[in-house]
């Protein structure tokens, strides 16, 4: 308690220094927190993508002509989704959705204009891979999917914008107009965030209800579908898919298929967007550490300069303490404790500032979400215990980097020099 009282008195005695130090720390912590949260949202098991460690994707295919007349690169076609990749032994669940399907509008029942939504055309297995929380109703089933019925699962936000403050239970079974087509609402789910790229949608319909969903693409296996897979053995799955591709190529006279490193696991897909073959998670972590070091080093040097000046002004105080028997170690501990209090205060303010930045839309720039959509980083993501621990660790590192060296050097000055100052 005595040390805490001394720390508090020192902070109050140097109000301007304390305020500048806290503000500088807050900016550093806010920057690091924004960076950490956006990265965490890509790789952590967050709503509704809780099964990321078992998720894989096939979303790129390149078809090359055997006579050398060029190639065609795109996402998968219906013939790939429903044909050669439909019964993978090493995939426990297989789903697909139509990609690049944008600019869809809801015609609401309440008095307001049409509004744009992100519409995802998929299949029933999609709801097995992504554990969307149903607030009312249920997902469309295999019978509805096979029949191509116009049914839809919509999000709570879409429901409120289309129908107003109507209880969700009363909306199940009603029709919603999307692009002037009536869809029967079979379920309402809690909306996720556009930062969760593959799972995000504001309405989900069977892709079999989309006109020409099974039309052939400009080349074999080419179209607008992305496949999502759950697997317990990614290596075996990758080997199986490559074996299928090899057998397919051997049976073709005109074209050669290349999946461009697919299937890829979730972490590679999110961290190595170009699917480079020699991608290494350890190399990525090393580069991440370098970025964080730069983000910390600049403010640490600035704060260290401030502390050096502050310690020069406190030489006489430290000289008096030494004359009464204080040694360098307890005095160093006192200075570090003072700065830790300021650093933690700056960390709390910086964390709050980061939350404000998220709500102002800075995450839209970082995560490159589609224009017109709002990135929602929920409390589950931003206030994750891991993010809390990370922020606390950053605060401690910033305190050590900025305070230890100038304090250690100043406290090494002889008592006479300190008292003369």
Q: Which backbone phi and psi does 65 adopt, to 5 degrees?
A: -75, 135
pLDDT reported for residue 137: 96
Strands (E), 59-170: 61-65, 71-76, 93-98, 104-107, 115-117, 119-122, 134-137, 151-155
Q: Tell me the DSSP string of 182-211.
A: EEEEEEEE----TTSTTT--SEEEEGGGST
CA dihedral 315→318→322→323, nearest 10 degrees, is 70
pLDDT of residue 368: 46
The pLDDT assigned to 52 comes to 92
Domain layout of the chain by residue ranges: 2-48+280-420, 61-209
> Mean pLDDT by 10-residue block, N- to C-terminus, for the chain (421 residues)?
63 74 82 78 83 92 78 87 92 90 83 87 97 96 96 96 93 95 96 83 95 88 93 95 92 86 85 58 65 71 71 69 72 78 84 77 48 49 72 76 75 58 55
Q: In 64-100, which positions are buried (b, 16+ CB within 10 angstroms) versus exposed (e)?
A: beeeeeeebebbbbbbbbeebbeebebbebbbbbbbe
- CA–CA distance from 195 to each of 46, 124, 263, 308 (Å)? 11, 22, 21, 43
Task: Specify the pLDDT at position 275.
Answer: 53
Residue 195: predicted pLDDT: 73
Please give the Cα distance from 188 to 414 (Å, whole number): 73
Round to whole Å and give the CA distance between 9 and 6: 5
What is the spatial distance between Cα 328 and Cα 397, in angstroms, rounded to a whole number? 21
Question: How large is the C-alpha radius of gyration of the chain?
Answer: 29
Nearest Cα residue to 54 out of 8, 91, 17: 91
20-53 burial code (b ≥16 CB/10 A, e <16): ebbebbbbbbbbbbbbbbbbbbbebebbbbebbe
Q: Is 414 helix (H, G, I), strand (E, B) or coil?
A: coil
pLDDT score, position 131: 94
Q: Are 35 and 295 in contact (CB under 8 A)?
A: yes
* Cα–Cα distance for residue pair 32/45, rounded to 1 Å: 21
pLDDT in the model for residue 280: 58
**Distance between CA atoms of 418 and 317, rounded to whole angstroms?**
8
What pLDDT is attached to residue 95?
96
CA nearest 209: which of 159, 152, 162?
Answer: 152
């Amino acid at each position: 308690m005595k040390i805490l009282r001394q720390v508090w008195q020192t902070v109050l005695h140097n109000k301007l220094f304390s305020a500048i130090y806290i503000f500088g720390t807050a900016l550093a912590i806010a920057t690091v927190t924004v960076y950490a949260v956006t990265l965490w949202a890509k790789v952590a098991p967050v709503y509704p993508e809780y099964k990321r460690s078992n998720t894989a994707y096939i979303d790129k295919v390149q078809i090359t002509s055997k006579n050398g007349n060029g190639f065609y690169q795109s996402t998968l076609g219906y013939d790939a989704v429903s044909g050669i990749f439909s019964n993978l032994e090493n995939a426990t669940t297989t789903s697909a959705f139509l990609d690049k399907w944008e600019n869809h509008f809801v015609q609401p029942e309440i008095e307001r204009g049409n509004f744009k939504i992100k519409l995802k055309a998929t299949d029933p297995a999609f709801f097995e891979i992504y554990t969307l929380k149903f607030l009312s109703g249920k997902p469309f089933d295999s019978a509805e999917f096979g029949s191509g019925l116009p049914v839809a699962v919509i999000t709570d936000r879409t429901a409120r914008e289309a129908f107003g403050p109507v209880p969700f239970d009363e909306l199940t079974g009603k029709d919603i107009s999307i692009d002037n087509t009536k869809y029967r609402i079979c379920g309402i789910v809690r909306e996720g965030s556009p930062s969760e790229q593959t799972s995000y949608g504001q309405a989900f319909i069977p892709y079999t209800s989309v006109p020409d969903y099974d039309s052939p693409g400009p080349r074999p296996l080419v179209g607008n579908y992305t496949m999502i897979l759950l697997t317990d053995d990614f290596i075996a799955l990758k080997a199986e898919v490559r074996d299928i591709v090899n057998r397919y190529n051997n049976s073709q006279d005109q074209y050669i298929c290349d999946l461009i490193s697919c299937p890829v696991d979730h972490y590679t897909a999110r961290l190595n967007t170009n699917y480079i073959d020699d991608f290494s998670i350890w190399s990525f972590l090393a580069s991440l550490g370098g970025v964080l070091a730069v983000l910390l080093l600049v403010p640490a040097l600035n704060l260290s300069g401030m502390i050096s000046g502050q310690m020069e002004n406190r030489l006489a105080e430290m000289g008096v303490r030494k004359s009464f028997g204080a040694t360098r170690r307890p005095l160093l501990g006192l200075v570090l404790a003072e700065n830790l209090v300021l650093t933690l205060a700056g960390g709390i303010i910086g964390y709050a500032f980061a939350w404000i930045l998220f709500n102002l839309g800075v995450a839209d720039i970082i995560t490159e979400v589609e224009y017109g959509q709002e990135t929602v980083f929920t409390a589950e993501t931003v206030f994750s215990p891991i993010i809390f621990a990370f922020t606390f660790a950053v605060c401690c590192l910033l305190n050590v980097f900025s305070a230890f060296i100038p304090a250690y050097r100043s406290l090494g000055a002889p008592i006479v020099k300190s008292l003369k100052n």
